[in-house]
Amino acid sequence: MLAVPYQTMTHDQWTAVDEFIARRLHERDEALDAALAASAEAGLPAIQVSPCHGKMLHLLARAMGARRILEIGTLGGYSTIWLARALPTGGRLISLEANPKHAEVARANIARAGLAGAVEVRLGRALDTLPQLAAEQAGPFDLFFIDADKEHIAEYFDWAIRLGRPGSLILVDNVVREGAVLDAESADTAVQGVRRFIERLGRDQRVSATVVQTVGVKKYDGFALAVITAATARTP
């Protein structure tokens, strides 16, 4: 039974529950705290994944035994640290970031977390650096986290499939946008980018996918999960 009727639930309550969970289930974490403090100090926007979603990324990477991870959209490296900590010895994470200041802050945060040896932050627009990765034969990656500009999600998703293998997991952040994803007439280019991605995802024979809606400190949003299937066999 709900403690409060749904209509009266607020962002304050979602935040309080996120904090309740994190306090009980997460260890104190100096590297992550320092990464958030340094990011705020440098004036980066506080749009990183929530602690609970960061840990979820970490657990998914661990559960699938991901050895190679590709992230698109680094910011200050908060999600990067959560993901990279799931890597086994010898595992690698590459994170793509267009903003030089974000990349610099992230590299320092990642080094402070003791992960510099496993993580490369590659500077440049993802639509420029993704073809570089393909040319270098940097894949196949086991896990992708797509979390950069929302206008190009569909293109990033196509690159993920190209750089993945059957069984790779592709996660895409921020695809519900407080329900704005339903608004076909939205003037918000991020909403249109997400809508274009979802429409294509539904027709994509190369993956099996769903979207999970979420509430919490980051309000009402959601993420897409897709597993790359064999090109011929579409599974439910």
Write out the two tokens for 130. Answer: 């993704």
Beta-carbon contacts of 47 under 8 Å, excluding residues fewer than 6 positions away, are 75
Check: CB of residue 77 under 8 Å from CB of residue 95: yes
User: From the list 18, 29, 142, 147, which residue makes contact with Mg ion (rule: CB under 5 A)?
Assistant: 147
- Asked if 47 interacts with ligand SAH (CB under 6 A), we say yes
Is 69 in a helix, a strand, or coil?
strand
Q: Using CB positions, name the residue nearest to ligand DHB.
A: 47
Write out the two tokens for 17. Answer: 């529950």
In whole angstroms, the minimum distance from the beta carbon of 180 to ligand SAH comes to 18
In whole angstroms, the minimum distance from the beta carbon of 162 to ligand DHB comes to 22
User: From the list 83, 113, 130, 148, which residue makes contact with ligand SAH (rule: CB under 6 A)?
Assistant: 148
Write out the two tokens for 16. Answer: 């309080």
Is 173 in a helix, a strand, or coil?
coil
Rank residues 130 and 181 by Cβ distance to ligand SAH and give the closer one: 130
Rank residues 147 and 204 by Cβ distance to ligand SAH and give the closer one: 147
Binding site residues, ligand DHB, CB under 6 A: 47, 147, 173-174
Beta-carbon contacts of 37 under 8 Å, excluding residues fewer than 6 positions away, are none
- Asked if 58 interacts with ligand SAH (CB under 6 A), we say no
Stretch that binds Mg ion, among 18-26, 83-91, 167-175, 188-196 (CB under 5 A): 167-175
User: From the list 75, 143, 169, 217, which residue makes contact with ligand SAH (rule: CB under 6 A)?
Assistant: 75
Stretch that binds Mg ion, among 54-62, 85-93, 174-182, 227-235 (CB under 5 A): 174-182
Rank residues 74 and 168 by Cβ distance to Mg ion and give the closer one: 74
Q: How far apart are CA 64 and CA 71, in angstroms?
A: 16
User: From the list 29, 68, 78, 154, which residue makes contact with ligand SAH (rule: CB under 6 A)?
Assistant: 78
Residue labelled with tokens 């680094």: 74
- Asked if 156 interacts with ligand SAH (CB under 6 A), we say no
Check: CB of residue 8 under 8 Å from CB of residue 66: no
Continuous segment of H or E residues that includes residue 221 = strand 221-228
- Asked if 96 interacts with ligand SAH (CB under 6 A), we say yes
Burial 185-202 (b: 16+ CB within 10 A, else e): eeeeebbbbbbbbbeebe
Is 212 in a helix, a strand, or coil?
strand
Which residues lie near ligand SAH (CB under 6 A)? 47-49, 73-75, 78-79, 96-99, 102, 125-126, 147-149
